[in-house]
Structure 1
Amino acid sequence: MKGRRCDVDGRKNLIPLSARDPEERREIARKGGLASGAARRRKRTFGQVFAALLPRAVALDGLDEIARLAEGLGPITAQEAIALALICKAMKGDTPAFNAIRDTLGEKPGQKVEGALEGRITLALAGELDEFAQ
């Protein structure tokens, strides 16, 4: 490694990029790009796992409450089972479960977005925010 050594915040033996050769900077940048690409692939793969698993059919053995709600639906997907579990929790009085369902349906108070004529979008603001909208 070429370049001068520096002491940054008590850390010795660090060589700043400005003191490195252009080839060395390019190599460091290349390694960073490869690591970034690998991290993006890992994250995307995790999302793809959910996307692949949620539509699969699930067995409702041992999930009595969900099975009762799913009666007559036939085989249900993991996504539907999760939604039914959330409904079960909300029906028992779990407020965060209720809020999650309400928000997913787009009925969150104060953040409702309504489509208007001619492709424009108007926002219906919560009462305390109306005075600032004018």
Structure 2
Amino acid sequence: IGEVKDRVCIVVDDIVDTAGTLCKGAETLINEGAKEVHAYITHGVLSEPAIERVAGSVMKSLAVTDTIEPTGETIAAKNIRVIPTAPVFAQAIQNIWQGTSVSSLFSATMLESIYDGMYSR
């Protein structure tokens, strides 16, 4: 994976269930000198004991989408952020209806405009 010492590390994956592997990976990165670790996961299953593991882990943050409905415990967790998918799906439907580009949704500028005001920086 390369040198992690004194770097901010980003972990990207498609799914997180009990978060054991994710938390151990974050711990390994910190033990190897990473400054901080953030994870971005598409589908947050978050079965027990995932929330507890993430809360007690060295990960600074975990972001998951709402493709799996988050529990109240997930929403309340201090270092877990749930990103709604509805705005981007709505924009994709609108683009198709208007005959404009759906691939434009892959640009950071477009995503920022879709989610503008939803999150503080």
Q: Greater relative contact order: 1 or 2 (C-alpha under 8 angstroms, separation 6 or more)?
A: 2
TM-score by length of 2: 0.24
Name the structure with the higher helix share: 1
Name the structure with the higher strand share: 2
TM-score by length of 1: 0.22
Question: Greater Rg, structure 1 or structure 2?
Answer: 1
